[in-house]
RNA sequence: GGACAGGUGGCAGAGCGGUCGAAUGCGCUGGUUUCGAAAACCAGUGUACCCUCCCGGGUACCGUGGGUUCGAAUCCCACCCUGUCCGCCA
């Protein structure tokens, strides 16, 4: 949620920011609506003050015992009707404005490159080189089933299209990565959480998934609960409606959760195998920090995420998203992309963003500033990392001519020393 | 799921329908005292929005939402949450 006072002070800055995102927001109408709400509020509150005074007078008169008591009550009643009407009008206008604000995206930071879509994103760093093969590298959706570590057909039997199963060393490899990620985060000072995978609508609103992106969420038919699309949602909202002790900042949290996404409208595009599925595992990092250090903290977080890819020896790059490609709640986003030799393309395995105070306003997450007054925190989050695409890159990068796949040395301790995945007898 | 009990300020804990944003205690902050500390004493100590040049003023918030009333922390209804017991269950 944007800061209405800031908007009022410099509406043109917001207009520019929204234009950069490719949105034409009627700034004048918004200003007018804001002014109207405040006028209605003032009127309702003034009437309420009069009514309160009248009521107090009646209380005093009743104790004193006066003849004019009934007349005073009648006057108060009339005033009350008037006040009630004014207050209803005020409430309706406030609700409408608030609802409208929920649909306005976060302005991007000035450093974010202007652009329309992903074609305008800026590559800011590349690590390594694409692996070379003495044979034609195959995609994971061929390698996986052949090695007996992925099974897409049976997943479709269970849940329809867009799901995957991992089998044997595939499942174990995924679990090894999760453990390695979390162990590393904890060593880096993150606190690990285990959180609900089902949350209330208000929680989804706090991080910005609702109300605008309801069609991307799985919902329960008989309960007011939604499946999380990322651990960002429960982790960030852990501190909703709280005032944090500044001595604790920055708070660094991480969690492993499955992520559930309907992917409405994404059918057909890069959806083979594990590339884009309705349910996938992810380890997520979430920071609560101060406005002053948020941007620097984002770089630190990106460093934490890229470190894994380097350790795994996977060719990867860092991309700064342009204004048109930056997500609704984010102010600045860097994607980490890993190279898929099997498809000769980049796969996003992490997205690290600062949300400035946008989520903090929605979720009401504050801390005590130097003056002792509550201020909104800045929230950051990033994948660290998303599992399926790491598996894709690992399998495709380390595939051998004989169809086996080598395990990078860093992961071997998490796999009981296993160095290689060879085709296994399947049942 | 059923039966009880309860949800009040950072915590504990009062609160006859009117002067309650709310007693009291603790905690916290500042001060006095002290060589210093403790103790004691004094003062202060919620959040949000609105009006105002300042001083200051107004409104709202006692789980949430409705209702009754001139007036609700106090009465009524619904819901949510917590605790205890029962049932069911990994």
Closest CA to A258 of A280, A233, A286: A280
The whole-number average pLDDT for the span A214-221 is: 92
A351 is catalytic: yes
d(CA A292, CA A94): 32
d(CA A194, CA A207): 18
Both tokens of residue A191?
């606190």
The whole-number average pLDDT for the span A43-58 is: 90
Both tokens of residue A90?
């005020």
Taking the mean position of all CA atoms in its chain, how far away is CA A378? 13
Backbone torsions φ then ψ of A94, nearest 5 degrees = -65, -45
A362 is catalytic: no
Prediction pTM value: 0.94
Tens of pLDDT, residues A374-411: 999 999 999 999 999 999 999 999 999 999 999 999 99
Alpha helix stretches (DSSP H) within A238-366: 294-312, 358-363
Q: Which residues touch strand B (CB under 7 A)?
A: A 4-5, 38, 41-42, 45-46, 48-49, 51-56, 58-59, 62-63, 73, 76-77, 80, 243, 366, 372-374
State, as a whole number of angstroms, the distance between the CA of A54 and the C1' of B16: 22
State, as a whole number of angstroms, the distance between the CA of A92 and the C1' of B18: 30
Find and give the residue nearest to B18, measured CA to C1'. Answer: A59
Predicted confidence at residue A427, as pLDDT, reads 59
Which residues, other chains included, contact A232 with Cβ-Cβ below 8 Å and sequence gap of 6+? Answer: A207, A284, A286, A381
Q: Is the pLDDT of residue A154 over 70?
A: yes
Mean pLDDT of chain A: 93
Residue A100: how many CB atoms within 10 A of its CB? 14
Tens of pLDDT, residues A278-327: 999 999 999 999 999 999 999 999 999 999 999 999 999 999 999 999 99
d(CA A364, CA A71): 46
Q: Is the pLDDT of residue A267 over 70?
A: no
Tokens 């089902």 appear where?
Answer: A198
The whole-number average pLDDT for the span A260-282 is: 87
Cβ-in-10-Å burial (0-12, 13-18, 19+) of A367 comes to buried
Q: Is the pLDDT of residue A371 over 90?
A: no
Q: Is the pLDDT of residue A235 over 90?
A: yes
Predicted confidence at residue A425, as pLDDT, reads 66
Predicted confidence at residue A59, as pLDDT, reads 82
A329 is catalytic: no
User: Which residue has better confidence, A266 or A367?
Assistant: A367
Q: Are strands A378-386 and A345-354 parallel, antiparallel or unpaired?
A: antiparallel
Chain B nucleotides near the protein (CB, 7 A): 18-19, 47-51, 58-60, 70-71
Annotate A61-96 with DSSP letters as a single string. HHHH--TTHHHHHHHHHHHHHHHHHHHHHHHHHHHH
Tens of pLDDT, residues A53-79: 898 888 877 766 666 778 888 888 888
ipTM of this complex prediction, to 2 decimal places: 0.89
Q: Is the pLDDT of residue A268 over 70?
A: no
């Amino acid at each position: 949620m944007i800061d209405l006072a800031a908007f009022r002070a410099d509406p043109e800055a917001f207009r520019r920011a929204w234009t950069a995102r490719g949105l034409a927001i009627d700034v004048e109408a918004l200003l007018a609506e804001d002014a109207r709400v405040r006028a209605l509020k003032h009127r309702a509150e003034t009437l309420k003050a009069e009514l309160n005074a009248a009521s107090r007078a009646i209380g005093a008169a009743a104790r004193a015992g006066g003849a004019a008591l009934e007349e005073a009550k009648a006057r108060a009643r009339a005033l009350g009707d008037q006040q009630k009407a004014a207050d209803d009008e005020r409430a309706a206008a406030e609700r409408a404005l608030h609802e409208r604000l929920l649909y306005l995206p976060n302005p991007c930071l000035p450093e974010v490159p202007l652009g329309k879509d992903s074609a305008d994103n800026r590559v800011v760093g590349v690590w390594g080189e694409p692996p070379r093969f003495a044979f034609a590298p195959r995609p994971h959706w061929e390698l996986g089933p052949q090695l007996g570590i992925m099974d897409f057909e049976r997943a479709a039997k269970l849940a329809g299209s867009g799901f995957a199963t991992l089998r044997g060393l595939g499942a174990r490899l995924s679990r090894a990565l999760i453990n390695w990620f979390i162990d590393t985060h904890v060593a880096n000072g993150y606190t690990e959480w285990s959180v609900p995978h089902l949350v209330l609508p208000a929680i989804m609103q706090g991080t910005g998934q609702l109300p605008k992106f309801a069609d991307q969420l799985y919902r329960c038919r008989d309960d007011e609960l939604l499946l999380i699309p990322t651990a960002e949602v429960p982790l960030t909202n852990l501190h909703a409606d709280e005032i944090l002790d500044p001595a604790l900042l920055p708070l660094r949290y991480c969690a492993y959760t499955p992520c559930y996404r309907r992917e409405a409208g994404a059918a057909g595009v890069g959806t083979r195998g594990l590339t884009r599925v309705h349910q996938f595992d992810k380890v997520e990092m979430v920071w609560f920090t101060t406005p002053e250090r948020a941007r620097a903290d984002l770089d630190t977080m990106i460093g934490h995420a890229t470190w894994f890819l380097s350790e795994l020896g996977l060719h990867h790059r860092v991309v700064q998203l342009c204004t048109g490609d930056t997500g609704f709640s984010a102010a600045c986003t860097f994607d980490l992309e890993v190279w898929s030799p099997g498809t000769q393309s980049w796969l996003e395995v992490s997205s690290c963003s600062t949300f400035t105070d946008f989520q903090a306003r929605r979720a009401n997450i504050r801390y005590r500033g130097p003056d002792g007054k509550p201020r909104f925190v800045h929230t950051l989050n990033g994948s660290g990392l998303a599992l399926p695409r790491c598996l894709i890159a690992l399998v495709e990068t380390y595939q051998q001519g004989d169809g086996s796949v080598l395990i990078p040395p860093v992961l071997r301790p998490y796999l009981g020393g296993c160095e290689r995945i060879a085709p296994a007898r399947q049942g």
